[in-house]
A = this chain, B = another copy of it.
Amino acid sequence: MDNWLKKQALLSGDKLAVTDGTNNLTFAELNQRATQIAGQLNSLGLLQNERIALLTNNTLAGYLTAMAILTAGHTIVWLNRRLSTAELNYQLTDSQVDFCLFEPGLETTGLLVKTVSLTDLFAAPVTQNTLQAEFKETEPASIMYTSGTTGRPKGVVQTFGNHLNSALASALNMGVSPADEWLCTVPIFHISGFSIMMRGLIYGMTVRLVEHFDAREIHKILVEEPITMISVVPYMLKKLLRLKDDTKAAYNQRFQGMLLGGGPIDRSTLELCEQLKIPVVQSYGMTETCSQIIALSFADAANHIGSSGKPLFLTQLRIASKTSEIQVKTPALTPGYLGQPAKYTAKITPDGWFKTGDVGHLDEDGFLYVDGRSDDMIISGGENIFPDEIESVYADCDQLEEMAVIGIDDELWEQKPIAFIVSKSNELSAQALLDYGRARLAHYKVPRTFYVLDHLPYNASGKLQRYKLHELLASKTPVQQLK
């Protein structure tokens, strides 16, 4: 394939490639600037096929630098700006990078590799550009560390072919038109954000960058700018819905809908979407599959509450017969974890399917329901229990801030569910929570024990770290039990 950036400079040179609302770059300008920065990377000694770590917010400078890394034939190692120094150093060491580029303001002391600010990079001399004439399907474009709710993070290799197939499958599912403009407020160092950049490059589509999610600002952009799509996670969706409901302001005429990742939505949220005429495509995917591989159209949503949808055109899906694990085949699947072939092999079945680690089921129309992580599944008296289900029922309990459920060994039932809670009320009792659960759940699913915490343990990506709750119980640290 031709180098995608040069290709879009040829095909869509005059078209807006990226904007942060103030500064605009056409594809021709983006190509010209990225080419220059590629030459500046050269002058730092980064000659060919290097891995380069990048620590940035959703800024134009970061966007340009990512494009320069790709067009120069290097691989981006995306770093999460919320990580601690120790976590960053683990990823920098694991990916064997020599350089970490950082956006001014995100400087971190104590990193084990040479750091260069984007300001310094952009001021460097431009030496000869050794641009990639071609992008090869099998070559790595990016490496992204999975957030790892258990164990150490793994570097997921994402090839140009993975990104291409992901973008094409998304186009077949949601449609694509030359007038599309995608708002990117999810982080570009996550696949949710980076996949928007790649779609921009592959479709010749405008990307509207926003640095931080501020609901009022996003709402205003959706009203005033020609945005057609936005990617959101559930909390963003809910905030935007609330604002839309309050203000009654219409989004711009071109607006087509929202792509939702991070779990299905509940009936009341869906009803609000319908009432406010905001089509939401729910989706399921992961870093290993270069974003969504399963999607639920808005038309199907009402009759399949809780479903993640159907496999996209290029994705094959099956539910393993004994374990009920969700397994997929897709050309968007990573070819491996950096330097950890055994961990990758362990995720592939003998007949070539990728084991997602999620457990799920299909309804009779072929819609997928994700029940939970297989690692989190609790088997109690022969019944499968998923913490997600219990937590989502308790999410509507007014006196609770939040809840996390894990399974512990039990003599009688083999395992049983127990809960960690963050309470909103001093008067909350274990009996009240038991009663609440028994009114809404099968009795074997209701936690018998509730531990009180100030906050639940989350990792930098906002994923709950259940293994820390297991560690907490196993440790000598006293934990307050709700009475």
Interfacial residues, chain A to chain B (CB-CB below 8 A): 1-2, 4, 7, 10-11, 134, 168, 171-172, 175-178, 202-204, 310-311, 313-314, 316, 366
Chain B residue, CB-CB nearest to A177: B175
Name the B residues within 8 Å of A4 (CB-CB).
Answer: 313
- Of the candidates B7, B311, B313, B314, the one whose C-beta lies within 8 Å of that of A313 is B7
Docked Cα-Cα span, A310 to B7, in Å, equals: 10
Query: Contacts A10-B310, A310-B10 known; A316 to B171 CB distance under 8 Å?
Result: no
Name the B residues within 8 Å of A168 (CB-CB).
Answer: 168, 171-172
Docked Cα-Cα span, A204 to B297, in Å, equals: 14
Name the B residues within 8 Å of A175 (CB-CB).
Answer: 175-178
The 6 closest A-B pairs by CB, nearest first: A175-B177, A168-B168, A10-B366, A2-B316, A175-B176, A11-B310
- In contact, B10 and A202 (Cβ under 8 angstroms): no
- In contact, A11 and B177 (Cβ under 8 angstroms): no
New A-B contacts (9) at CB < 8 Å, excluding given A168-B172, A202-B313? A1-B314, A10-B366, A11-B313, A168-B168, A171-B172, A172-B203, A172-B204, A176-B176, A204-B313
Chain B residue, CB-CB nearest to A9: B366
Report the copy number of this chain in the oligomer.
Answer: 2
Chain B residue, CB-CB nearest to A316: B2
Smallest beta-carbon distance A323→chain B, Å:
21
Docked Cα-Cα span, A310 to B178, in Å, equals: 16
Name the B residues within 8 Å of A204 (CB-CB).
Answer: 172, 313
Docked Cα-Cα span, A204 to B310, in Å, equals: 14
Determine which residue in A10, A134, A176, A313 has the highest number of CB atoms from chain B within 10 A of its CB, and name it: A313
Determine which residue in A4, A11, A171 has the highest number of CB atoms from chain B within 10 A of its CB, and name it: A11
Query: Contacts A310-B10, A310-B11 known; A202 to B366 CB distance under 8 Å?
Result: no
Query: Contacts A11-B310, A310-B10, A310-B11 known; A316 to B172 CB distance under 8 Å?
Result: no
Docked Cα-Cα span, A177 to B4, in Å, equals: 23
Name the B residues within 8 Å of A11 (CB-CB).
Answer: 310, 313
- In contact, B1 and A316 (Cβ under 8 angstroms): yes
For this complex, 20 residue pairs linking A to B, each with C-beta atoms less than 8 Å apart, are: A2-B311, A2-B316, A4-B313, A7-B313, A10-B310, A10-B366, A11-B310, A134-B316, A168-B171, A168-B172, A171-B171, A171-B172, A171-B176, A172-B176, A175-B175, A175-B176, A175-B177, A175-B178, A176-B176, A177-B177
Smallest beta-carbon distance A30→chain B, Å:
16
Name the B residues within 8 Å of A203 (CB-CB).
Answer: 172
